[in-house]
Amino acid sequence: MNTYITTPIYYVNAQPHLGHAYTTIVADTYSRFRRLAGATVRFQTGTDEHGDKIAEAAAKEDVPPKEYADRISRLFQDTWPLLEVQPDNFIRTTDPGHVATVQSILQKVHDSGDIYFDEYSGLYCRGCERFLTEKELVDGLCPDHQVPPQEIAEQNYFFRMSRYQQRLIEHIEENPDFITPERYRNEVLSFLSEPLEDLCISRPKSRLTWGIELPFDANFVTYVWFDALINYLSGLDYPDGEDFDRFWSVAEHVIAKDILKPHAIYWPTMLMSMGLPLYKKLHVHGYWNVDDTKMSKSIGNVVRPAQLIEEYGVDTLRYFTLREMSFGLDASFSSDAIIARKNSDLANDIGNLFSRSIAMLQKYTEGRIPTPGPAGPADLLLQKTTEQMLEIYTEEMANFQFHRALQAVWEVISSANKYIVTNEPWTLARESSNSKRLATVLYTLSECLRLLAMVLGPVMPGAAAKMVFGLGLETGSNLVSDLERGGRWGLLPAGTVLRPIEPLFPRMERQQVKETEKTVKIVSKGDPAQSETDFGLITFDQFQKVDLRVAEIVAAERVKKSEKLLKLTVMAPERRTIMAGIAESYAPEELIGCQVLIVANMKPAKLMGIPSQGMVLAARAMVDGKERLVLSTVSKTVPTGSRVA
């Protein structure tokens, strides 16, 4: 089972940004996923270094193009390790091996009669580095670069692309997975419903020298796209390389929609002319905008990966991009969006699940995975949910539907968090007669965590490795790195000794402060009900002024130096912090996921220096001969923030 996955080779006229990072994270995640599924993988990325654009950028800085290309290519090469992206090959179009391959292919295609010399005049866009048709222009301008194209008349070499139009249409029609998602397949078929023109594949040296010389005419260099696309073959040492034999038939390219046409039309027709099988799949994704605006240098909103990693961490960035973008559609980046995902999906959901489970294992089974007793209905349900997730995950990852794969994973995380709440390990731990049941519950949780660590590996390699380490397992072990052999329930050996680790995803405090300020502003408007009520009878109008709501507890922690207080983070539906005097009645870990009733328009107050925005309602009552607080709740789960009338 082999896999060959590629990214576009990026132009060296711009430094790496979020768009480049996304495509490359996708390819890396997919290659890690395929390895998890047992495949031998080759993952290639690189830089595209010839052509007008690069020559111009180098001239602007007054350096020779190669020197300029060396510098920017290095920036790309240095960025990938920061993103935990591990390509097997980094190709540059200035590599002598690539240059030789391009020339030998040109010669072959020329010899077969598919290249001819002709006079041509047309509308040339320097940004696109190609001639545009009248039809493509919008108000006389190139739609991508917003500049009028130049009228150019010159003699050039042409590739007989039109000759392969019909065969290409048939190939796309017979192979529904050749171009996905379907919208892009349709776009290509619609483009192919019009007659295809031949492709100009040379540039006279009088106009451009920074390119690969045509082997059959030294007055010309190769058009940059004809040069660049061949990287997918030269990177495999085509035609004689062993890698070419092993990987070409399974080639999968990942690109964004901007370069659909060269990949879906030029490239397959070039391969047809060379007499080679076509690549297997083209995966096309949408564009990242920033705060709903196109990312561009002139607007000054270009997002750099290194900066994002510094601010949010690499695991968060990888998770966010894969979870937030529906593959194929555009998505919008904003710091609020990434912080929200970090705090809710990562810190609260997976982070809390992991830390509270490990804390209970430390406390109740001396830091060892216990031997489980017989599984009951709740345990079997969590097992089944996890097993179903493994199937959905495998299918969605294979289809590049990363956001759906992650949704399925997060359903398991939320089920596991609820499993803790309903099975109350802390209550079981109070009675030694329950120790077998406690062992079953903690084993079930640990097994769920192991499988979560396995499926999160391709997405967040760093965090997953920490989970694996914390669970006392080895990174390369089949138990966490082999879907086939380790992706089954019940393999985690009892007796495994846990190892201490730092929290996986600390919350982002900066945002918490910002949110606190926001909420304080909302609720601190003077409420006459509070001053006028004299704790005697109240009127209906007065009662109406109390804003009672259903809130869900998403995080709970003890407060240093306080025996009574717990710091709760609730959604109601907005996030807020509430300090509650319930620490003597509840353990923090049993509260996560509970719905409670709160007074949402309490005047904010600081308790132990922490601002509290509301109050939870609880009954003080005698339970089993002891006085305690019992939280009030609703009899069925309802949307958070529901008003209580």
User: Is the Cβ of residue 19 or residue 313 nearer to ligand MSP in the bound state?
Assistant: 19
Q: Which is nearer to ligand MSP, 146 or 544 (CB)?
A: 146
Q: Identify which range of 9-17, 54-62, 208-216, 488-496 contacts ligand MSP by CB under 6 A.
A: 9-17
| Active-site annotation holder among 60, 66, 297, 603 | 297
Q: How many residues bind ligand MSP (CB under 6 A)?
A: 19
Q: DSSP class of residue 535?
A: S
Nearer to ligand MSP, 256 or 314 (CB): 256
- Tokens 């669970």, residue? 471
Q: Give DSSP secondary structure letters for 295-363.
A: --TTTT-PPPHHHHHHHH-HHHHHHHHHHHSPTTS-EEE-HHHHHHHIIIIIIIIIIHHHHHHHHHHHH
Q: Shortest approach of ligand MSP to residue 255 CB, angstroms? A: 4
Q: Are 511 and 339 spatial neighbours (Cβ–Cβ below 8 Å)? A: yes
- What are the residue ranges of helices labelled H in 471-508? 478-481, 483-486
Pattern of binders to ligand MSP over 265-304, x per CB under 6 A? ----------------------xx------x---------
Terminus-to-terminus CA distance in the chain, angstroms?
61
Minimum CB separation of residue 371 from ligand MSP in Å reads 49
Active site residue 280: no
Confirm or reject binding of residue 505 to ligand MSP (CB under 6 A): no
- By beta-carbon proximity to ligand MSP, the closer residue of 20 and 404 is 20
DSSP summary character for residue 546: S
What whole-number distance in Å separates Cα of residue 446 and Cα of residue 443? 5
Set 98, 110, 142, 466: catalytic member: 142
How far is residue 550's CA from residue 547's CA, in Å, rounded to a whole number?
A: 10
User: Residue 42 interacts with ligand MSP (CB under 6 A)?
Assistant: no
CB-nearer residue toward ligand MSP: 283 or 356:
283
Interface region with ligand MSP, contact rule CB under 6 A, candidates 16-24, 68-76, 425-433, 603-611: 16-24
Q: Residue 393 or residue 400: which is nearer to ligand MSP going by CB?
A: 400
521 has catalytic annotation: no
Q: Name beta bridge partners: 282.
A: 179, 253
389 binds ligand MSP (CB under 6 A): no
From the CB of 10, what's the least distance to ligand MSP, in Å?
4
- Tell me if 65 sits within 8 A of 28, measured CB to CB: no
Q: How far is the CB of 8 from ligand MSP (least distance, A)?
A: 4
Q: Which residue is nearest to ligand MSP (CB)?
A: 19
Q: Residues 209, 51: contact at Cβ < 8 Å?
A: no
When computed from its CA atoms, the radius of gyration of the chain, rounded to whole angstroms, is 30
Residue reference for tokens 């499926």:
455
Q: Which stretch binds ligand MSP (CB under 6 A): 4-12, 273-281, 375-383, 481-489?
A: 4-12
Q: Is 318 a binder of ligand MSP (CB under 6 A)?
A: no
SS (H, E, C) 567-622: EEEEECCCEEEEEECCCCCCCHHHCCCCEEEEECCCCCEEECCEEECCEECEEEEE
| Residue 200 appears among annotated catalytic residues | no
Instruction: Give φ, ψ of 208 to 5 degrees.
Output: -150, 125
558 three-class SS = strand
Catalytic residue among 294, 363, 521, 603: 294
Q: Which is nearer to ligand MSP, 94 or 516 (CB)?
A: 94
- Told to check if 402 binds ligand MSP by CB under 6 A, we report no
Number of other CB atoms surrounding residue 484 within 10 Å: 10
Give the HSE-up count for residue 218: Cα atoms under 13 Å, Cβ half-sphere. Answer: 0
Any contact of residue 9 with ligand MSP (CB under 6 A)?
yes
Specify whether 142 is catalytic.
yes
Active site residue 20: yes
Which of 28, 48, 589, 590 is the binder for ligand MSP (CB under 6 A)? 48
Shortest separation between residue 21's beta carbon and ligand MSP, angstroms: 9
**3, 4, 22, 425: residue in contact with ligand MSP (rule CB under 6 A):** 22
Taking CB under 6 A as the rule, does residue 16 contact ligand MSP? no
Binder among 3, 4, 5, 23 for ligand MSP (CB under 6 A): 23
- Phi, psi (degrees; rounded to nearest 5) at 452: -65, -40
**Omega before 573 within 30 of 0, i.e. cis:** yes
Between residue 222 and residue 251, which ones bind ligand MSP under the rule CB under 6 A? Answer: 228-229, 231
- Written as six digits, the tokens of 341 are 């995902």
Residue 258 makes contact with ligand MSP by CB under 6 A? yes
Residue 251 makes CB contacts below 8 A (sequence gap 6+) with 4, 6, 232, 279, 280, 281
Spot the catalytic one: 53, 98, 110, 125.
125
| Closer of 8 and 472 to ligand MSP (Cβ) | 8
Cβ at position 540, least distance to ligand MSP in Å: 56
> What does DSSP say about strands 217-222 and 179-180: parallel, antiparallel, or unpaired?
unpaired
Q: In the complex, what is the shortest distance from the CB of residue 398 to ligand MSP, in angstroms, rounded to a whole number?
A: 20
256 binds ligand MSP (CB under 6 A): yes
Instruction: Name residue, tokens 């408007």.
Output: 525
What's the rounded Cα separation, in Å, for the pair 584 and 631? 12
Give the shortest CB-320-to-ligand MSP separation in angstroms. 14
Of the candidate spans 17-25, 145-153, 215-223, 400-408, the one that interacts with ligand MSP by CB under 6 A turns out to be: 17-25
Q: Does 11 bind ligand MSP (CB under 6 A)?
A: yes
From the candidates 66, 145, 363, 518, give the one annotated as an active-site residue.
145
Contact (Cβ atoms closer than 8 angstroms) between residue 279 and residue 322? no
283 is catalytic: no
Pick 99 or 295: Cβ nearer ligand MSP: 295
Least Cβ distance, residue 270 to ligand MSP (angstroms): 11
**Contact between 21 and ligand MSP (CB under 6 A)?**
no
**Which residue from 3, 4, 19, 458 is in contact with ligand MSP, where contact means CB under 6 A?**
19
Smallest gap from residue 399 Cβ to ligand MSP (A): 19
Counting contacts by CB under 6 A, is residue 255 touching ligand MSP? Answer: yes
136: part of which helix (H) or strand (E)?
none
Please enumerate in sequence order all residues whose Cβ is within 8 A of that of 530, keeping only pairs 6 or more positions apart, or say none. 603
- HEC secondary structure over 370-427: CCCCCCCHHHHHHHHHHHHHHHHHHHHHHCCCHHHHHHHHHHHHHHHHHHHHHHCHHH
* Residue 10 in contact with ligand MSP, rule: CB under 6 A: yes
Q: For residue 24, which of 113, 90, 94, 100 has the smallest C-alpha distance? A: 90
Positions that interact with ligand MSP (CB under 6 A): 8-11, 19-20, 22-23, 48, 228-229, 231, 255-256, 258-259, 287-288, 295
The residues assigned a catalytic role are 17, 20, 125, 128, 142, 145, 294, 297
